[in-house]
Amino acid sequence: MKIIDVHAHYGEWFFPIYLSKEQHIIGLMDRYGIEKAVFSSSLAIVYNMIEGNAQLDGFLSKSPRFYGYVVLNPNYVDLSMQQIERYLGAQKFLGVKIHPDYSRKSVSCHESIELLEKARKLKKVALLHTWGDEQVRATSTVADTFPDLTVIMGHMGGNGREGVGWKAGIEAAKARPNLYLEVCGSTLHKDRIKEAVEAVGDDRILYGSDMTLLNPSITVGMIEEANIPQSSKENIFHRNAERILRL
Amino acid sequence: MPSRIVDMNTYFGAYPRMKIDLSLETLERLIEQNGVAKVVTLSLKGVLYDHVEGNAETLRKCSESGNLIPAATLDPRKYTGDATDVHTLASQGFKMLRLFPDLQGWPLRFAPVRSIARGLHKTHMPLMVNMLTYGSATEIVDLVGKHSFPLILSGIGYWVLSEAIVLMKNTKNVFVETSHLDSPDAVETLVSEVGADRILFGSNAPMTYFRGPYLSVANADISDHAKEMIFHLNAEKMLGGVND
């Protein structure tokens, strides 16, 4: 089955992961049937937004299967605005990404809101890393602030072995038609996809792998195993992404 | 497709901390759907309520099914240091002991764990321990790695993979199971750094999806023989007497 991956990364990691070259990434995509993927730069997220976004821009030109998010850092509003101006007009950049854990700024702080307003005006999507109840509330605030912005809740609210942020994520998405749930994570509790489809519907759930940090096997296996109709799996794997990203 | 799968990390029972179906029927359905030959399993009653009652339930359920291999657990919050407890568990037919600091909240540097390890040393029963965070694997290996019984680290993900590799290089009786090996080349990296004979297939089912960890090994860029080792040969060698 065709797969569009809306949550991928390009770059190195401070973990023993050795897949930062284009050929490694293409190999990984082929292994799991990922036709296209939308990347953000790990360098931009964890260290230097400007250097990372520039590196990603070069990477995207290597394959028609690669698309990108511009990483924004709400600690640097002016520079982030410049990044939007520089990249977001390009066809290959489909949206913006904010990761509050590394910037230590909430996605709903006034600086983030200012940046997201710009993305909204350009009719681009926003992928927001969301992990735990507090970040679910922040991402929900963004969705409420901009009803015409497509907000992708990364990790569908996340949390690992004990946490249930994803349950809060599902609750948040139920009431917000512009809020989409992206499914990746490390510890994926059984039935999370079935619960999401039953609560939100299968047209607002998006496949994401978090490669190259995470193995697409984890999320491909989860969707394959999920006790939902085949048509719902197709929506999650590619149709919803094709629609909202106009791919 | 491996010729056989032995899953080292499963459990069954109730779970009060979220709504999720962890019933034995669900586990058995997963075994059948995925062509798993054997699972090492235990009742969560022993983890979340009382290890004596839980172990009794594990033994009872495993005696009713040829697919289930019993793992015992001891709760260090209750364990007062009689090493004969471990001998008793071995004589009852348990093939592995599991400890759950993540679910029970005790620190790894905890006197009852030392005492449990002394009991394991005499029986040579494998010990599987769930990891908590950075340093958990280091602490448990410091605490019990000097003994010769197999120590299986469970819950090793990308964030502690380097820690596990360094420990495994320095301590020959340390193994990992696969349920949380979530980075794209984790299996390949482990095989190349420490060898396929130190990796055991575990899914963490039915708490989490079975198919993810399965695909991580099945699709890894390693030899077919290495996959057979991970999927069943290593487990069969470690547990002994679990073939049909």
- ipTM of predicted complex: 0.92
Q: Give the mean model confidence (pLDDT) for residues A227-240.
A: 98
Q: Is residue B145 part of a domain?
A: yes
Q: Is residue B41 part of a domain?
A: yes
Find chain B residues with C-beta within 8 A of A186's C-beta.
157-158, 180, 182
Name the residue facing A191 among B21, B161, B211 (closest C-beta). B21
Q: Which residue of B has its CA nearest to A32?
A: B219
Q: Which residue of A has its CA nearest to B185?
A: A17
Predicted local confidence at residue A160, as pLDDT: 66
Å from A166 to nearest chain B CA?
A: 12
Q: What is the pLDDT of residues A60-93, one digit of tens each?
A: 999 999 999 999 999 999 999 999 999 999 999 9
Q: Do B180 and A162 touch (CB under 8 A)?
A: no
Å from B84 to nearest chain A CA?
A: 33
Å from B40 to nearest chain A CA?
A: 19
Which of A187-196, B205-214, B234-243: highest mean pLDDT? B205-214
Find chain A residues with C-beta within 8 A of B190's C-beta.
none
- Give the number of domains in chain B: 1
Q: Which residue of B has its CA nearest to A213?
A: B183
Choice among A142-156, B139-153, B163-177 with the minimum mean pLDDT? B139-153
Choice among A156-165, B172-181, B186-195 with the minimum mean pLDDT? A156-165
Q: Which residue has the higher pLDDT, A233 or B123?
A: A233
Average pLDDT, chain A: 96
Q: Give the mean model confidence (pLDDT) for residues B96-107.
A: 96
Q: Do A218 and B102 touch (CB under 8 A)?
A: no
Q: Give the mean model confidence (pLDDT) for residues A99-122.
A: 97
Q: What is the pLDDT of residues B191-238, one digit of tens each?
A: 999 999 999 999 999 999 999 999 999 999 999 999 999 999 999 999
pLDDT band, residue A20 (cuts 50/70/90): confident
Q: What is the 3-state secondary structure of chain B? A: CCCCCEECCECECCCCCCCCCCCHHHHHHHHHHCCCCEEEECECHHHHCCHHHHHHHHHHHHHCCCCEEEEEECCCCCCCCCCHHHHHHHHHCCCEEEECHHHHCCCCCCHHHHHHHHHHHHHCCCEEEECCCCCHHHHHHHHHCCCCCCEEEECCCHHHHHHHHHHHHHCCCEEEECCCCCCCCHHHHHHHHHCHHHEECCCCECCECCHHHHHHHHCCCCCHHHHHHHHHHHHHHHHCCCCC
Can you give the CATH number for the domain in which B111 is found? 3.20.20.140
Distances in Å between the Cα of B121 and the Cα atoms of B90, B125, B147, B200 are: 12, 8, 6, 21
Name the residue facing B211 among A17, A212, A221 (closest C-beta). A221
Q: Is residue B15 part of a domain?
A: yes
Predicted local confidence at residue A162, as pLDDT: 63
Q: Do B211 and A222 touch (CB under 8 A)?
A: yes
Q: Do B209 and A222 touch (CB under 8 A)?
A: yes
Q: Is residue B206 part of a domain?
A: yes
Å from A170 to nearest chain B CA?
A: 14
Q: Is A110 on the interface with B (CB under 8 A)?
A: no
Q: Is A212 on the interface with B (CB under 8 A)?
A: yes
Q: Do B211 and A164 touch (CB under 8 A)?
A: no
Q: Is B54 on the interface with A (CB under 8 A)?
A: no
Q: Which residue of A has its CA nearest to B105?
A: A162
Q: Is residue B148 part of a domain?
A: yes
Q: What is the pLDDT of residues B69-80, one digit of tens each?
A: 999 999 999 999
Q: Give the mean model confidence (pLDDT) for residues A223-228.
A: 96
Q: Is B91 on the interface with A (CB under 8 A)?
A: no
Å from A171 to nearest chain B CA?
A: 15
Q: Is residue B244 part of a domain?
A: no
Q: Is residue B60 part of a domain?
A: yes
For B104, the domain range is: 6-239
pLDDT band, residue B241 (cuts 50/70/90): low
Q: Which residue of B has its CA nearest to A16?
A: B162
Map out the domains of chain A with their CATH numbers.
3-245 (3.20.20.140)
Q: What is the pLDDT of residues B104-121, one digit of tens each?
A: 999 999 999 999 999 998
pLDDT band, residue A211 (cuts 50/70/90): very high
Predicted local confidence at residue B132, as pLDDT: 84
State how far the Cα of B83 lies from the Cα of B146, in Å rounded to an integer: 17
Average pLDDT, chain B: 95
The helix (run of H) or strand (run of E) holding residue A50 is helix A49-60
Q: Within 10 Å of residue A243's Cβ, how many Cβ atoms?
A: 11
Q: Is B159 on the interface with A (CB under 8 A)?
A: yes
Q: Is residue B35 part of a domain?
A: yes
